[in-house]
């Protein structure tokens, strides 16, 4: 049933049906809770859990590659607000499409890869004393993934009036701003981390949606090729396929109990025909 049009949801249509404890909501709740703690222990948390390239390289504080993405500027609530807003917009939809485990792989992977890029850049430029925090790398990874899935999706920007814009242009704008800031060497923003997060979202899409092979070892690819065989016949007749589609659509709308005994028997015979 999964390749039938009537079994598919339009983009974002099912997000509201996700259970109350989704990974997206837990991430938002965690970021907000950490921000509240930062109001009282900001200096301590930044010292130990923000991304300090010097600590990562010389002291082995590898946990900072993850924890920095849960800290935000305690003096600027909009830093947290806009990151969580984008996470809410795109996180629930992507989690519903890929499942919580893969969604977390994209989110946390974007943050870790962004942290590695930021640390490497700081090492190469001699700016090891700098530090980075915020979920922007994670959010940009999600934004890039959502854009590659549906680049012409229309989103609306509030600019006195609602202005429709294709998602690909919005993403290109954000990436271009980060590229420009990175090229100019502007301080105060972790442009390298942002770009690293965006790159992870693109690499994940290439691997999982286009099968580029970034995550598949060579022996598995070889076994896949060996399983390809030339079909000996075309399969069930078109009228059988049409009737099966009708019955599956009936099940989709009314459940299995909506089928008559004769229809169930027909579906069982057709199933055996498809297997053969």
Instruction: Give the residue with greater pLDDT, 132 vs 163.
Output: 132
Helices (H), the chain: 23-49, 53-54, 64-67, 77-98, 100-125, 136-149, 167-184, 191-209, 218-227, 238-254, 261-275
What are 61-117's pLDDT values in tens digits? 999 999 999 999 999 999 999 999 999 999 999 999 999 999 999 999 999 999 999
Which band of pLDDT confidence, cut at 50, 70 and 90, is reported for residue 220?
very low
Q: Give the mean pLDDT of the chain.
A: 85
Residues 6 or more apart in contact with residue 135 via CB below 8 angstroms: 31, 69, 70, 72, 83, 84, 87, 111
- Residue 232 predicted with pLDDT over 80: no
Taking CA atoms, 115 is separated from 22, 35, 56, in Å, by 25, 20, 10
Superfamily of domain 14-217: Rhomboid-like (1.20.1540.10)
At 227, is the pLDDT very low, low, confident or very high (cuts 50, 70, 90)?
low
> What is the spatial distance between Cα 45 and Cα 38, in angstroms, rounded to a whole number?
7
pLDDT band at 7 (very low <50, low <70, confident <90, very high): low
The pLDDT of residue 221 is above 70: no
Rounded to an integer, what distance in angstroms lies between the CA atom of residue 203 and that of residue 207?
A: 6
Bridge partners (DSSP) listed for residue 156: 164
C-alpha to C-alpha distance for 114 and 29, rounded to whole angstroms: 22
Least confidently predicted of 72-76, 154-158, 174-178: 154-158
Centroid of chain to Cα 260: 42
* Longest alpha-carbon distance in the chain: 76
Residues 268 and 244 sit within 8 Å (Cβ to Cβ): no
Region(s) of the chain under CATH 1.20.1540.10:
14-217
Confidence (pLDDT) at 102? 95
Over residues 250-256, mean pLDDT: 78
Please report, rounded to a whole number, the percentage of residues in the chain having pLDDT higher than 90: 59
With helix as H, strand as E and coil as C, how does 164-192 read? EEEHHHHHHHHHHHHHHHHHHCCCCCCHH
pLDDT in the model for residue 35: 97
Distances from the Cα of 15 to the Cαs of 11, 100, 138, 254, in angstroms? 9, 13, 20, 22
pLDDT of 135 > 50? The answer is yes
User: Model-level pTM?
Assistant: 0.71
How long is the chain? 276
Asked whether the CA dihedral 50, 101, 97, 149 is positive or negative, the reply is: positive
Q: How far apart are CA 241 and CA 64, in angstroms?
A: 55
Whether pLDDT at 217 is above 50: no
- Strand, helix or coil for residue 154: strand
Among 105, 127, 143, which residue's Cα sits nearest to residue 53? 127
Q: Which is higher by pLDDT, 205 or 232? A: 205
Q: Tell me which of 30-39, 44-53, 76-85, 250-259 is least confident.
A: 250-259
């Amino acid at each position: 049933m999964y390749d039938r049009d009537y079994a598919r949801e339009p983009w974002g249509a099912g997000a509201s049906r996700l259970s109350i404890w989704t990974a997206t909501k837990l991430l938002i709740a965690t970021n907000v809770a950490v921000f509240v703690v930062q109001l009282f222990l900001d200096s301590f948390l930044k010292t130990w859990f923000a991304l300090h390239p010097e600590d990562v390289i010389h002291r082995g504080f590898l946990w900072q590659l993850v924890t920095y993405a849960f800290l935000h500027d305690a003096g600027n609530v909009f830093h947290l607000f806009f990151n969580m807003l984008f996470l809410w917009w795109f996180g629930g939809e992507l989690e519903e499409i890929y499942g919580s485990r893969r969604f977390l792989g994209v989110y946390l992977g974007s943050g870790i890869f962004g942290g590695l890029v930021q640390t490497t850049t700081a090492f190469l430029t001699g700016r090891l004393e700098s530090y980075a925090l915020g979920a922007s790398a994670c959010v940009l990874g999600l934004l890039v993934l959502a854009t590659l899935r549906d680049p012409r999706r229309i989103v609306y920007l509030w600019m006195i009036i609602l202005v429709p814009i294709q998602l690909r242009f919005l993403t290109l704008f954000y990436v271009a701003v980060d590229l420009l800031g990175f090229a100019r060497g502007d301080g105060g923003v972790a442009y390298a981390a942002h770009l690293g997060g965006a790159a992870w979202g693109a690499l994940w899409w290439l691997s999982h949606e286009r099968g580029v092979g970034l995550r598949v070892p060579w022996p598995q690819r070889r076994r896949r090729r060996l399983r390809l065989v030339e079909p000996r016949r075309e399969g069930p007749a078109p009228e059988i396929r049409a009737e099966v589609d009708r019955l599956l659509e009936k099940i989709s709308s009314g459940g299995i109990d909506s089928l008559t005994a004769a229809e169930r028997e027909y579906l069982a015979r057709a199933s055996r025909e498809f297997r053969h």
